[in-house]
Amino acid sequence: MTSDAYPGRPAALSSRSMVTAPHALAAQAGVTTLTNGGNAADAAIAIAASLTALYPHMTGIGGDAFFLYYDAASDAIHAYNGSGAAAHEATLDFYAARKDSHIPERSGAAVLTVPGAVDAWYALHERFGTLTMESILAPAIGYAQAGAPAARSFVAAIHRLRDMLSQDDAARVLLVEHGPRRTGDRFANPALAQTLREIAKGGRRYWYEGEAAAAIDRCCRSVGSPLRARDLAAHRGLFTQPCRGHFFGCASLTMPPNSQGIAALVAQQTYEAYCEQHGDLQLADGSAQRVHAQSEAIGYAYADRDACVGDPRDASPWAPLLDGAHTRVLAQAIDPNALAQEPVAHVDAGDTAYFACVDSGGNAVSFIQSLFHSFGAGVVVPELGIALQNRGTAFELTAGTLRSLVPGRRPFHTLMPCMLLRDGRPWLVYGSMGGEGQPQTALQLTTRILVDGHDPQTAIEAPRWRFTRDATAEPAQLHLEARFSQACRAGLRARGHELHVLGDFDESMGHAGAICIDRERGVLVGGADPRGDGAALGL
């Protein structure tokens, strides 16, 4: 594993423990928790809570969370679905009465699913944690109460979305009037600090059945949301089995539906099969040949995803998609020299926070938490100091589909924490924010690490591409960071790709994080994305 290929920041190295997070102070909270005797579960919760104070545009307790946890003592990996279901009053008739053809992206009508993050924290803590929640949440409470310097991404999001935030009275006061104006301005949120204290003291009951639920109910009624306290009281996350595929000698794990994780596994297996079928091609990193083949694999994977991913109770059988015969057929359909399909890409603006931790006992966690879009629905609960998610906008206002809005149904979810295993144990713990781009980032990172031999930091910093569209009326395009060569761009255009060239490091490519567990040398190798504000820190 080498870092010679790209002269960026060095990979983080440690022989004991490692964290990676999209905000450096959140990573520090994880290290502090480990130093205080906590394990990977404790550190992950500390990071998750700290990000609610430090990165409120990307994540918060008004949103959802998923995680994969490797418990070294039992040598087992556990997956947790912390997504909330649609409210009892969130019906097709509710939106028909509003004359909506689709669920609004912002405003109270966009708040229609239960925030599941707090439940996910407690599920992780009760099964695997060691420290008290008061100790674990202490760094986050400190950041929220005293304030912390605002990160560039947070400040940019406020400036970009000022008009939207100003439509909600509480959001305007918290984020526009009292929010940071420049990177480094101190931002405090005392209401959030008190909410975190109450969560530490009252646990799930406070959030889902107590005063927090009542405050969310009052806020939702005032802004025209169908979400009610009864919906929070009914919430239950669930432990489940990871979705498992394979990629260049490793087992590849992520979340099953309602997560889109299946798309990453199908794309990985399709690309590996393509490499086997076209061993004569030069599929070097940064080449048009590789970008073309991988983007085509993603297109087929998204078609599979859209046909099967929904609420776990409703999802179509997905295991056959990971049959080697299926992905070999997909690989055979890829023309090395031309677009073989016109894959569907949705408009996507997902903002999320991914982070990971490996502790000295060998436990590992891959954790992702989100409000969906920046600041979620743009609705702030003033007593709690939190924004509410707009994840329910993934539902469709037509009956009879996997994504149809049905009360009590979990929505299609982009969140997908990941791991690669060697000999049955975690070898790479990784993931990224980025909405529908997450499977695309996963494919690129794992190829660079497994095939090219790069360390996580080098793989993360390398130029990335993403197949997406900017608006409903626009054609789907292959977005490329400007560091891809002119030869690569010319080769892609010759194959029929429409290109949109971005800056050198574009935040739309996501904030990735990864930790490689090198058991032969007894070393942890971590990386954090320069497109974010984070760090990988060893202990």
CA distances in angstroms from 516 to 27, 45, 94, listed in the order given? 17, 21, 48
Known catalytic residue at 352: yes
- DSSP 8-state code for residue 403: T
d(CA 199, CA 108): 24
d(CA 533, CA 368): 16
d(CA 158, CA 258): 30
Q: Which phi and psi angles does 148 have, rounded to 5°?
A: -145, 155
- Name, in order, each residue with C-beta under 8 angstroms of 498's C-beta and a sequence gap of 6 or more: 475, 476, 477, 478
d(CA 348, CA 468): 7
Provide the angle, in degrees to the nearest 10, between the axes of the packed helices 486-494 and 288-308.
Answer: 50
- DSSP 8-state code for residue 412: P
Catalytic residue, from 270, 352, 447, 458: name it.
352
3-state secondary structure of 371: strand
Residue with tokens 């579960």: 41
b/e map of 495-534 (b: 16 or more CB within 10 Å)?
bebeeeebeebbbbbbbbbbbbbeeeeebbbbbbbebbbb
d(CA 296, CA 114): 35
Active-site annotation, residues: 352
